[in-house]
Amino acid sequence: MNVTVVCEHNASMDSQEGKRAYPEGLGVCLQEMLREAGCAVTLVTIGENGADALTDEIIDGTDVMFWWGHWHHLKVSDEVVNKVADRALRGMGMVFLHSAHDSKIFKRLLGSSCSLKWREDGEHERLWCVDPTHPIARGLGESIDIPQEEMYGEPFDIPTPDELVYIGWFKGGEVFRGGCVFKRGAGKLFYFNPGHETYPTYKIPEVRQILRQACKYVEPAQPLKEKIFCPHIPEFSVKD
Ligand code: ZN
C-alpha cells in the first residue's frame, strides 16, 4: 500500500516541548509507524510555502493519505485541495489527525465548518470505544488513556458520522466524537482527535494500532474510478 503522510512543520514543533515529544519530528514518527506496518510511505512537509511538495505524481500514486496540519491550513492552495478531494472521492482513503479538522480539504469533504471547542491544557483524555465490532478498534480494550492531550469538545460541527468508533472524555468534563468514519464518493475517511504536537501521543502503542488499523480500513476496496460523474441512463422505452 502506498501511503502519503502530509504533515505540517510549525514553530510549536521547534519549541522545547515539541522537540521533547518528537525529537525525530512528528511527521517522521507517523512515517515510521506506517512503515512498520509494511506500507511504502512518502512524507510531504507543509511549511511556510504551503503544500508545494505535494506533487501530482505523489497524489496520483497514493492509496491512503494521512493529513496533520494546524498553522498553515490557509497556505495549502485551492489547486492542491481540488486534486486531493478529487482523488478522495474516486476512492483514495484519508486519515485526518487532530487539528486537521480545520484543514481546507477536511471541510471540503465534510461540507461544514468543522469547528469545535478547545483548551490547550495538557489534560488527561480517555478514549472510549463505542463500537467494539469495528475493524479500527480490533484487539483493543474498551478504553485508551492518553496522559496529556489538548481538549477538543462538542459541539463539533460535522455531519453525523457514518460510523462512530471512539468518543473522547476529558478531565475537564467535556466529551468529543474523536474517532469517526465518513464515506464520501467511492472513498472513506477517518478523523481522529488525539495528537497535539507537544504531547507524545503518537508514541502510545494503542494509538499506533488504531492508526494502522484505520489505514487498512480506509484503503481503497477496488481500483480507483477514473472520474466521478453522473452516468447517463438511456431513455426507458415501453415496448408493446
Ligand atoms: Zn493541537
Q: How far is the CA of 227 from the centre of ligand 1 (A)?
A: 35
57, part of any domain: yes
What is the structure's pLDDT at 240? 60
Q: How far is the CA of 229 from the centre of ligand 1 (A)?
A: 37
What is the structure's pLDDT at 232? 83
Residue 227 has pLDDT above 70, yes or no: yes
Task: Catalogue the E-assigned strands of the chain.
Answer: 2-8, 40-46, 64-68, 93-97, 117-129, 143-153, 163-170, 175-184, 187-192
Distance separating alpha carbons of residues 29 and 51, to the nearest angstrom = 19
156, part of any domain: no
The answer to which of 35-39, 52-56, 226-230 has the lowest mean pLDDT is: 226-230
The conformational region for residue 86 under phi > 0 = left, psi -120 to 50 = alpha, else beta, is: alpha
48, part of any domain: yes
Paired with 97 in beta bridges are 68, 192
50, part of any domain: yes
Q: How far is the CA of 106 from the centre of ligand 1 (A)?
A: 16
Distance separating alpha carbons of residues 136 and 84, to the nearest angstrom = 23
Q: What percent of the chain stands above pLDDT 70?
A: 99
C-beta separation of 106 from 100 below 8 A: yes
- pLDDT tier, 11 (very low <50, low <70, confident <90, very high otherwise): very high
**Per residue in 90-118, pLDDT tens?**
999 999 999 999 999 999 999 999 999 99
Domain count, the chain: 1
Mean pLDDT, range 169-192, rounded to an integer? 97
47, part of any domain: yes
Q: Cell numbers at residue 30, please?
A: 507517523
Q: How far is the CA of 209 from the centre of ligand 1 (A)?
A: 21
209, part of any domain: yes
Q: How far is the CA of 96 from the centre of ligand 1 (A)?
A: 13
Q: How far is the CA of 144 from the centre of ligand 1 (A)?
A: 19
**Residue 2 — φ and ψ, nearest 5°?**
-95, 115
What is the structure's pLDDT at 239? 67
Domain that holds residue 34: 2-112+179-225
Q: How far is the CA of 108 from the centre of ligand 1 (A)?
A: 20
CATH no. for residue 189?
3.40.50.880
Q: Cell numbers at residue 61, please?
A: 500514486
- Do the bridges between strand 93-97 and strand 187-192 make them parallel or antiparallel, or are there none, so unpaired? parallel
Q: How far is the CA of 195 from the centre of ligand 1 (A)?
A: 7
Q: How far is the CA of 150 from the centre of ligand 1 (A)?
A: 6
Q: How far is the CA of 200 from the centre of ligand 1 (A)?
A: 12
pTM recorded for the entire structure: 0.95
- pLDDT tier, 234 (very low <50, low <70, confident <90, very high otherwise): confident
Mean pLDDT of the chain, nearest integer: 95
Mean pLDDT, range 27-44, rounded to an integer? 97
Distance separating alpha carbons of residues 81 and 66, to the nearest angstrom = 14
Q: How far is the CA of 222 from the centre of ligand 1 (A)?
A: 34
62, part of any domain: yes
Paired with 184 in beta bridges are 187
C-beta separation of 138 from 102 below 8 A: no
* CA-atom Rg of the chain in angstroms: 18
Higher pLDDT, 48 or 191: 191
Q: How far is the CA of 99 from the centre of ligand 1 (A)?
A: 6
83, part of any domain: yes
Q: How far is the CA of 34 from the centre of ligand 1 (A)?
A: 21
